[in-house]
């Protein structure tokens, strides 16, 4: 790859670090400290999480309608995202937290869709599609960064200083991206006819979207409460922060590894493997509350969810190469809808059964359903396509 190409991709990686992990998932390792120091209930924590995911839903949906001036709109949303992170540490008002988490979610949704669309289109235009997996490594890098830094910063500056520190770090990454992209012209998307856009809801794509939406619902319960659950098991408390680092370490190389697998095996088969491993990782803490089980759960969480994101997004673009923005937006919107519902249902299950095992078991069953829908959808759409070809040939 040329130096310019590396700079463009690395800038995209940094934007995903900012939006997907510092802005969105730093909340996970900070949450236990906020709950203790601010007497934040599990229910209120769920509302904060859902506020962020509602914003993500709005942002992902809105991004599908952005075709012009994509680069400038992307950078504007990154600025607002950094603002939302920094000011979380400037207030103790629950309602301001709700607003800031909503703003963080909205801008994150737009950043993810636009960054994915821009970078995948850029790589395709330079015949470098094989490197698209490296873009999603930003998700794992961000998790590892938040997992390492949050306990260290919190030790000296409490949870408020942690948000401020992460906001400053996000600002630094933003500045680096602007520097890397200063001479790069990002081609605007092509607005296609409405009839063309409706085609993405035919064939296998709707099944992929539904499965991906259920994945969003299932995985987010673990993604939001994993550290908090481990922290509240007294014998495992010392592993709580480290578990998030393990998730990040597993997630960082995950996308290139999963993308390499589809060279020899079909994407749907590789996706199925990722889903199955994720289910196993989700239910592990229910089956065993030991240090190795929770760390393995964290590892499988990081390794599989990034794989599912990268594989699903790349496959959707492969099916509709001229509508990358629309298909990524459709997938991400379904994913975000699942994420809105997930924390709310988790809090209800936890309150009713008074046990973390109930929401975790529910999450595992939802992702299992996603696997079944993915496989059935592939079988059904392939069967219909063969039937259509057979009729045409006759």
pLDDT of residue 268: 92
Distance CA 252, CA 142 (A): 8
What residues contact residue 293 under an 8 Å CB cut-off, 6+ apart? 284, 285, 287
- The CATH homologous superfamily to which domain 3-187+194-393 belongs is MFS general substrate transporter like domains (1.20.1250.20)
pLDDT of residue 206: 92
Surface-to-core class of residue 290, CB atoms within 10 Å of its CB (0-12 exposed, 13-18 middle, 19+ buried): middle
The answer to whether the CB of 92 falls within 8 A of the CB of 38 is: yes
pLDDT of residue 195: 45
Distance CA 173, CA 337 (A): 28
Closest CA to 119 of 266, 9, 275, 219: 9
pLDDT of residue 145: 77
pLDDT of residue 388: 67
pLDDT of residue 197: 52
The token pair at 66 is 């952005």
pLDDT of residue 392: 67
pLDDT of residue 349: 84
Q: How far is CA 137 from the centre of its chain?
A: 11
pLDDT of residue 21: 75
The pLDDT tens digits along the chain (394 residues) read 578 888 888 999 999 999 877 887 788 778 888 888 888 787 788 788 888 888 988 998 888 887 778 888 999 999 999 999 999 999 888 999 999 999 999 999 999 889 988 888 888 887 777 777 788 777 777 777 777 788 888 888 888 999 999 999 999 999 999 999 887 776 655 554 444 455 667 788 999 999 999 999 998 888 777 777 787 778 888 888 788 788 888 988 888 899 889 888 899 999 999 999 999 999 998 888 888 988 999 999 999 998 999 899 888 888 887 777 788 888 988 988 888 888 778 878 877 888 778 888 999 999 999 999 999 999 998 888 787 676 666 5
pLDDT of residue 187: 63
pLDDT of residue 74: 93
pLDDT of residue 192: 47
Residue 62's SS3 state is helix
């Amino acid at each position: 790859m040329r130096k310019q190409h590396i700079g463009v991709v690395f800038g995209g990686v940094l934007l995903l670090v900012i939006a997907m992990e510092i802005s969105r998932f730093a909340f996970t390792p900070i949450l236990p400290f906020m709950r203790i120091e601010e007497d934040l209930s599990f229910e209120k924590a769920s509302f904060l999480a859902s506020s962020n995911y509602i914003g993500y839903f709005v942002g992902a949906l809105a991004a599908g309608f952005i075709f012009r001036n994509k680069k400038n709109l992307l950078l504007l949303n990154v600025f607002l995202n950094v603002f939302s992170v920094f000011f979380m540490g400037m207030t103790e008002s629950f309602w301001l937290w709700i607003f800031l988490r909503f703003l963080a979610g909205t801008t994150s949704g737009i950043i993810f869709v636009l960054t994915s669309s821009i970078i995948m289109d850029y790589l395709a235009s330079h015949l470098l599609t094989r490197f698209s997996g490296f873009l999603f490594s930003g998700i794992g890098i961000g998790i590892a960064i938040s997992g390492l830094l949050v306990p260290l910063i919190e030790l000296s500056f409490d949870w408020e200083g942690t948000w401020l520190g992460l906001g400053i770090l996000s600002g630094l990454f933003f500045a680096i991206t602007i520097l890397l992209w200063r001479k790069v012209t990002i081609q605007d998307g092509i607005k296609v006819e409405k009839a063309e856009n409706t085609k993405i809801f035919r064939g296998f794509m709707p099944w992929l979207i539904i499965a991906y939406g259920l994945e969003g619902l299932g995985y987010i319960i673990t993604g939001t409460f994993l550290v908090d659950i481990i922290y509240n098991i007294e014998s495992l408390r010392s592993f709580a922060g480290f578990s998030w680092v393990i998730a990040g370490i597993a997630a960082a190389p995950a996308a290139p590894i999963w993308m390499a697998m589809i060279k020899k095996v079909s994407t749907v088969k590789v996706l199925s493997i990722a889903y199955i491993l994720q289910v196993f990782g989700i239910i592990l803490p229910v089956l065993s509350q030991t240090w190795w089980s929770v760390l393995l759960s964290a590892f499988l969480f990081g390794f599989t969810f990034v794989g599912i994101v990268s594989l699903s997004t790349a496959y959707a673009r492969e099916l509709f190469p001229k509508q990358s923005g629309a298909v990524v937006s459709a997938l991400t919107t379904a994913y975000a809808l699942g994420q809105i519902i997930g924390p709310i249902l988790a809090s209800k299950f936890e309150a009713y059964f008074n046990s973390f095992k109930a929401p975790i078991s529910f999450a595992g069953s939802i992702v299992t359903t996603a696997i079944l829908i993915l496989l059935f959808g592939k079988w059904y759409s392939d069967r219909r396509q063969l039937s259509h070809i057979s009729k045409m040939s006759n």
